[in-house]
């Protein structure tokens, strides 16, 4: 019997499609199954210790307490935990995650939330203020993204986040294509770098996902897109910018192609929707991506990222109310009454919509422009710092989401060395790299310099001890290269099981 390493080595040389077919059979071999279960179990034990740091300090509740606890005691213990978890993001050690984070801004949003905590836009008759806020959030976002200049009636809805906005859009195109073109087996054409939410939409809604490659600059390959479109294609997708490498796809060419072929084009501006318009204003080189391009038929833009709202809101926009109608849900024969909802949820937290509106109107155009200026200046310093380290290179030519890799060193070991210095960066693969998504947290004095100094020290540390034991590097390396993707998927499911352990 060959060792697992030999089997892995052999599998990496085979065609991935063949491996996927072989995997089912391989996993039936008892020795292979036992080895996989053993390795997954060992990994989960290590991760469980990191994921459940309070186990030894606090009771693990498995039942409702017989009597309710005192609110002041509950608040005290919850405050203690939050205090322990705040430093890393507040001080700018975390990639993305918290996009604003100033105490006065947070306190203000919390006040607005508290004022509206009982509201639910499902009952628009009870809380018309919330539907006013939601309509205005959509209108303001549409105007910012070329809505007025487009000459069309750009409309949309609120959702709970980028993933929901993307999924709503894909469902909308599926239903439109079914109704207007009779397409029963729909396909969507999506760059490999587009967010995983497109995979989720494909899985949930039975749409075939056709992934297209990107060029050396990490931008979608337009010729590949043209080839991938078939009679069943319902939508072509581009990112502005993409999550992994922060590059804006060639949206002008792609949306033009979509227009010519009579299909929808979705710009995923979840990350860039509230940055790119202001970056353009400031004179940065921003490729066209919004409704000023006639082929763009929908855009997702996250208010809960660079819109500086609290977590839990995003905007999905459409070129025209006819398209938006395919997103809506109605039921007319339910004994519970006439039912309708614009997005996936039924009841929704109106307080989040109110806080989102409040964040937008207090920030204003000047506030977004200034925030963008700070972010892009910070990113410029960080990019220069990375470029000055000979062992590292930056993928593409990004504005503020900066992915870097190394040809000489294991980039995941460099990430581990950064983790030991307090940084929480994102490990990416295909190709192996790490990114920092710059937010307002990183614009604080000293943060950019500290990042560059720590990165220099981390590279030096790995140069001196390239094979040092421990850390997450072997796990990332394995997850990136293991040909048995079903095994990797099962590891991720085991991880989610751990999250729900008390």
Ligand X SMILES: Cc1ncc(COP(=O)(O)O)c(C=O)c1O
Applying CB under 6 A, the residues found at the interface with ligand X are 161-163, 166, 195, 197, 239, 242-243, 268, 270-271, 302
Contact 361, 122 (CB under 8 A): no
Least spacing, CB of residue 289 vs ligand X, in Å: 12
Least spacing, CB of residue 270 vs ligand X, in Å: 3
Angle, alpha carbons 109-112-115 (nearest 5°) = 150
Residue 408 vs residues 245, 354, 389, 474: alpha-carbon distances, Å: 20, 50, 12, 17
**Which residue number, 268 or 290, has a Cβ lying nearer to ligand X?**
268
Residue 334 vs residues 121, 330, 337, 338, 341: alpha-carbon distances, Å: 20, 10, 6, 7, 14
**Which residue number, 302 or 416, has a Cβ lying nearer to ligand X?**
302
Contact 264, 297 (CB under 8 A): yes
Least spacing, CB of residue 239 vs ligand X, in Å: 5
> With the C-alpha atoms ordered 85, 87, 93, 97, is the resulting torsion angle positive or negative?
positive
C-alpha distance across the termini of the chain, in Å: 40
Least spacing, CB of residue 195 vs ligand X, in Å: 4
Kindly give, in sequence order, each residue whose CB lies less than 8 Å from that of residue 44, ignoring residues fewer than 6 positions away.
494, 495, 498
In 10 A of CB 276, how many CB atoms? 26
**Which residue number, 32 or 275, has a Cβ lying nearer to ligand X?**
275
**Which residue number, 95 or 406, has a Cβ lying nearer to ligand X?**
95
Kindly give, in sequence order, each residue whose CB lies less than 8 Å from that of residue 295, ignoring residues fewer than 6 positions away.
254, 255, 256, 257, 258, 259, 265
Least spacing, CB of residue 96 vs ligand X, in Å: 6
Element (H, E) at 9: helix 4-12
**Which residue number, 302 or 461, has a Cβ lying nearer to ligand X?**
302
Contact 70, 421 (CB under 8 A): no
**Which residue number, 242 or 327, has a Cβ lying nearer to ligand X?**
242
**Which residue number, 270 or 462, has a Cβ lying nearer to ligand X?**
270
Task: Say how far apart CA 116 and CA 130 lie, in whole Å.
Answer: 9
**Which residue number, 187 or 302, has a Cβ lying nearer to ligand X?**
302
Q: Which residue is nearest to ligand X (CB)?
A: 162
Least spacing, CB of residue 265 vs ligand X, in Å: 16
Encoding tokens for residue 53? 């740091």
Least spacing, CB of residue 347 vs ligand X, in Å: 20
**Which residue number, 183 or 394, has a Cβ lying nearer to ligand X?**
394
**Which residue number, 197 or 386, has a Cβ lying nearer to ligand X?**
197
Kindly give, in sequence order, each residue whose CB lies less than 8 Å from that of residue 18, ignoring residues fewer than 6 positions away.
none
Least spacing, CB of residue 267 vs ligand X, in Å: 10
Task: Say how far apart CA 51 and CA 242 lie, in whole Å.
Answer: 28
Nearest to 177 by CA among 233, 254, 225: 233
In 10 A of CB 219, how many CB atoms? 25
Least spacing, CB of residue 266 vs ligand X, in Å: 11
Least spacing, CB of residue 315 vs ligand X, in Å: 11
Least spacing, CB of residue 244 vs ligand X, in Å: 9
Least spacing, CB of residue 216 vs ligand X, in Å: 20
**Which residue number, 19 or 309, has a Cβ lying nearer to ligand X?**
309
Which phi and psi angles does 267 have, rounded to 5°? Answer: -95, 120
Task: Say how far apart CA 34 and CA 51 lie, in whole Å.
Answer: 25
**Which residue number, 127 or 289, has a Cβ lying nearer to ligand X?**
289
Nearest to 191 by CA among 483, 430, 482, 412: 430
Which of the 8 DSSP states describes residue 407?
Answer: S
Element (H, E) at 341: strand 339-341
**Which residue number, 278 or 289, has a Cβ lying nearer to ligand X?**
289
Residue 104 vs residues 100, 108, 153, 274, 350: alpha-carbon distances, Å: 10, 6, 36, 21, 22
Encoding tokens for residue 36? 């996989």
Least spacing, CB of residue 448 vs ligand X, in Å: 21
Kindly give, in sequence order, each residue whose CB lies less than 8 Å from that of residue 399, ignoring residues fewer than 6 positions away.
241, 246, 275, 279, 284, 286, 376, 379
């Amino acid at each position: 019997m060959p060792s697992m390493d030999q089997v892995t080595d052999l599998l990496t040389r085979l065609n991935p499609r063949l491996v996927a077919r072989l995997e089912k059979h391989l996993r039936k071999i008892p020795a292979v199954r036992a080895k996989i279960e053993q390795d997954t179990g060992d990994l989960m034990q290590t991760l469980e210790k990191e994921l459940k740091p309070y186990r030894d300090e606090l009771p693990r509740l498995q039942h409702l307490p017989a009597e309710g606890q005192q609110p002041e005691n509950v608040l005290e213990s919850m405050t203690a935990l939050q205090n322990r978890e705040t430093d890393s993001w507040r001080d700018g050690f975390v990639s993305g995650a918290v996009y604003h984070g100033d105490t006065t801004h947070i306190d203000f949003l919390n006040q607005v939330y508290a004022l509206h905590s009982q509201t639910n836009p499902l009952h628009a008759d009870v809380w018309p203020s919330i539907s006013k806020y939601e309509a205005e959030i959509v209108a303001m976002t549409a105007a910012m993204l070329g809505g007025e200049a487009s000459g069309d009636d750009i409309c949309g809805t609120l959702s709970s986040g980028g993933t929901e906005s993307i999924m709503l859009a894909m469902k909308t195109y599926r239903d439109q294509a079914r109704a207007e073109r009779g397409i029963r087996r729909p396909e969507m054409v999506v760059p490999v770098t587009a967010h995983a939410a497109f995979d989720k939409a494909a899985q949930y809604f039975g749409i075939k996902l056709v992934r297209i490659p990107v060029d050396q600059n990490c931008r979608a390959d337009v010729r590949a897109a043209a080839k991938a479109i078939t009679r069943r294609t319902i939508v072509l997708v581009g990112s502005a910018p993409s999550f992994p490498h922060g590059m804006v796809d060639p949206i002008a060419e792609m949306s033009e192609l979509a227009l010519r072929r009579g299909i929808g084009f979705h710009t995923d501006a979840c990350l860039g929707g509230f940055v790119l318009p202001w970056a353009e204003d400031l004179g940065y080189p921003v490729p066209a991506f919004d409704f000023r391009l006639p082929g763009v038929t929908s855009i997702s833009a996250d208010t809960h990222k660079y819109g500086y709202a609290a977590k839990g809101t995003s905007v999905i926009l459409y070129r025209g109310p006819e398209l938006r109608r395919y997103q809506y849900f109605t039921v007319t024969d339910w004994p519970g009454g006439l039912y309708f909802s614009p997005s996936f949820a039924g009841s929704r937290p109106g307080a989040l919509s109110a806080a989102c509106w409040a964040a937008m109107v207090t920030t204003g155009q000047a506030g977004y422009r200034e925030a963008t200026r700070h972010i892009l200046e910070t990113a410029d310093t960080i990019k220069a710092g990375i470029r000055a380290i000979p062992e590292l290179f930056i993928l593409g030519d990004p504005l503020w989401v900066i992915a870097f890799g190394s040809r000489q060193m294991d980039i995941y070991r460099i990430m581990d060395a950064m983790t030991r210095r307090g940084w929480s960066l994102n490990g990416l693969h295909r190709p192996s790299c790490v990114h920092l998504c710059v937010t307002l947290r990183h614009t604080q004095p000293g943060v950019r310099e500290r990042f560059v100094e720590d990165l220099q020290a981390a590279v030096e540390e790995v140069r001196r001890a390239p094979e040092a034991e421990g850390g997450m590097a072997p796990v990332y390396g394995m997850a990136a290269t293991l040909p048995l993707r079903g095994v990797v998927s099962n590891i991720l499911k085991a991880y989610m099981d751990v999250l729900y352990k008390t």
